[in-house]
Structure 1
Amino acid sequence: MNRLSDEYISACRVDRGKILRGENMSRIETFVDAAFAFAFTMLVISIDQIPTNPEELLELSRDIPAFLISAIIIGSIWVTHANWSRHFGLQDSATLYLSLALVMLVLVFVYPIKLMAQATVLYSSGDALGTDIFVLGGWDDNQVAILFIYFGFGLIGLSAILVALYLNALRYRSELQLRHLEVFFCKKACLTWIVVATVAALSCITAFVFYDNKTYVVAAGNLYLTLFLLLPLSQRYAWKRWADRNNKEIP
C-alpha cells in the first residue's frame, strides 16, 4: 500500500480527532452493509398472520426483549465495522478476507444469537417474557447449555475478526499517517473486543462444566450482563493510561 499524500489527508474531514479516510463507500463496505441488512431482516419477529385480537398481540410482544437484545448484538458489530471503514478506508486483501469472514459468521450465527437471547430472557424473567419455543421444541437444560457454548464460540470468532481489522490498520499506520490519538483508539477498540471475547469464553466454560445444573446454565447467559460494567471500566482504564503517558486530562 502506498503512503497517503499530505494533500489527501488534509482534504479529509476529522471526527473527534480521527481522520475520516474512507467516507466514500467501497465495494467491500457496500457488501458488508447489505449482508448486515439481510441479517436484521432474519431477526424480525416471525408471525404466520397479523394478530387479530389484543391477546395475540400481547403474546407476540413477549418476544420483543429477545429481538432487541439480538439487534443490539448484531448492530454493535455492524457499527464497529462501519466506523472502522470510515476511519481507515482500507481495501487490501486482509480487509477483504476479514470482512468476508465477518459476514459469513454473522449470517451463520443470526439464529443462534436470537435463540440465545430468547433463552436468556425466558430464564431471567421466570418464563414471564419470551416465547414458548424451547418448550415446544423439547429443549432441556443440557441443550440450552450447548446453545450458550455454540453462541460463545461464535462471539469469540466475531470479536477476533474485529480485533484483527484494527490490528491490520495499525500495520499500515505509516501509510495511513495515523495520528497518535488514532493509534490509541485502535488499541482501545482491540481491548473492547478482547473483553467481549473473554466474557464469551467464561460463559462457554460455565455452560460446559455445569451443563446439567440449571442455575449455572442461567448464570452462563447472565455473564454477558457483566459487559455493561466491564466495558466502561476497560475504556476508563485505557483512557487513564493514555492520559498518564501523554500528561493530559482524561476526556
Structure 2
Amino acid sequence: MSEQHEATHSGRVEVHRLDGFIDAAFAFAVSVLAIAGAEIPHNLHDLVTALERIPAFACSFATLMIFWHRQVRWRDHFRLHDTTSMLLSLALVFFALIFVYPLNMLFQAMFGALYASFAHQELAGAPTIDSVRDIKALYLCYGLAYACMAGCLVGLYRHSLRKASISAIERIDARQNLFAQSGSVCVATLSLVAALLIPDAPSWTALPGFIYVLLSPTYWLTGRWATRAKAKLA
C-alpha cells in the first residue's frame, strides 16, 4: 500500500509540475509579446507611440489566452495522466511559443494598415511588408501555427473521449470542444489554401484573414448542438 500511495503521490506531483510548466510557458509567450512590441517610454512621444500598439497587443494577448484557457478546461474536466496527454500538452506549448511571432506581426501589420488609412501616416513600430508575397508568407506562418495548436486540442479531447471514464454530460462537452477545435483546424487550413492561391494583387490580401470570421459560426453551431444534446438527456 505504501508503494502504491507513493506512486500515486509522485504522479500527482508530476502532473502539477507539468501544469505549472504549461502556465509558465504561456505567461512567457505573453511576455515576449510585450517585450517585442514596446520599449520603455522616455518621453511623451514614446508613451503615445507605445499606447498606439495596445490594440495589436490586446488581440494577440486574447488569442493566446483563448488557447491557454481551452487547455485549462481540458485538464480540469477531461485530463488523463498518461504519456499521450503529456506529449500533446507539450506540443501545444511548443506551437504556442512559435505562434507568438507571426501572431504579433500579423496584428501589428493589420492595425498598422488601419492606422495608415485613417491617420495618413505610418504607425511607429509596425512591421515592414514590402510585397503581397510577404503578406502571404505571414498568413502561412500564422495559419500553420494556429492549425497545429487547434490540432493539439483536438488530439487531447479525442484521446479523453476514447480513454476517460466520464459522464454523459461531460461526454457531450468533450465532443463539443472536439468539434469546435476540428472546425478551427478546417478554418485555418482554408485560410492557408487561400493564401497560397490568391493572386499577387493588393485587393486580395485581406481574404485569408477574413476567413477566420468563420470561427464564430463554427463555435455557435457546436454550442447549439451541445445544448440540444443535453436537452435530450434531461
TM-score range, shorter chain: 0.7 to 0.9
1:155 aligns with 2:143: no
Aligned position for 1:133: 126
Q: What is the aligned length?
A: 218
Contact in 1 for aligned 2:78/2:157 (Cα 8 Å):
no
- Unaligned runs of at least 5 residues, structure 1: 1-21
- Which residue of 193, 202, 215 corresponds with 2:190? 202
Partner SS, residue 139 of structure 1:
coil
Query: Structure 2: which amino acid aligns with 1:133?
Result: A
1:226 paired residue among 208, 214, 230: 214
- 1:55-113 Cα distance to aligned partner (Å, 9 max, x none): 43222222111111111111011001111111134220001111111111111121111
Cα distance per residue 1:18-74 (max 9 Å; x no partner)? xxxx9x962221111111111110111533332411x43222222111111111111
Specify whether residues 48 and 118 from structure 1 end up closer, same or farther in structure 2 by C-alpha distance, changes over 3 A only. Answer: closer
The alignment's C-alpha RMSD in Å is: 2.3
**Alpha-carbon distance change, 131 to 220 in structure 1, aligned in 2, over 3 angstroms:** farther
SS in 2 for 1:134: coil
TM-score by length of 2: 0.83
TM-score, normalised to structure 1's length?
0.78
**Equivalent in 140, 149, 155 of residue 164 of structure 1:** 155
Instruction: Tell me how far apart the structure 2 counterparts of residues 101 and 81 of structure 1 sit (CA, whole Å).
Output: 12
Residues 203 and 131 of structure 1: CA distance in aligned 2, closer, same or farther (over 3 Å): farther
Match of residue 193 from structure 1: 181
Q: Does 1:179 align with 2:167?
A: yes
1:106 to 84, 88, 96: 96
- Output the CA distance in 2 between the equivalents of 1:88 and 1:78: 15
Pick closer, same or farther for the CA change 1:201–1:120 going to 2, 3 Å: farther
Bigger relative contact order, structure 1 or 2 (CA pairs below 8 A, ≥6 apart) = 1
Please give the alpha-carbon distance, in whole angstroms, between the structure 2 residues aligned to 1:186 and 1:122: 39
- Whole-angstrom CA distance in 1 between matches of 2:156 and 2:79: 11
Per the alignment, residue 14 of structure 1 pairs with none
Cα distance between partner residues in 2 of 1:57 and 1:152: 32
* Matches of 1:80 and 1:35, distance apart in 2: 15
Partner residue of 1:30? 20
Instruction: Identify the residue that residue 217 of structure 1 maps to in structure 2.
Output: 205
Deviation for aligned residue 1:164:
0.4
**Contact 1:66-1:118 within 8 A present in 2 as well:** yes
Residues 230, 205 of structure 1: CA spacing in aligned structure 2 closer, same or farther, 3 A cutoff?
same
Contact 2:169 2:230 in 1 (8 A): no
- After superposition, residues 35-74 of structure 1 pair within 5 angstroms as 35-44=25-34, 46-53=37-44, 55-74=45-64
Percent identity over the alignment is 26
Give the superposition deviation at 1:140.
1.9
Change (3 A) 1:122 1:229: farther
Return the alpha-carbon distance in structure 1 between the equivalents of residues 199 and 115 of structure 2. 20
Corresponding position of 1:82: 72
Corresponding residue number in structure 1 for 2:107: 117
- Cα displacement (A) at 1:144: 1.0
Name the SS for the 1:202 alignment partner.
helix
Offset of 1:222 from its aligned partner?
Answer: 2.3
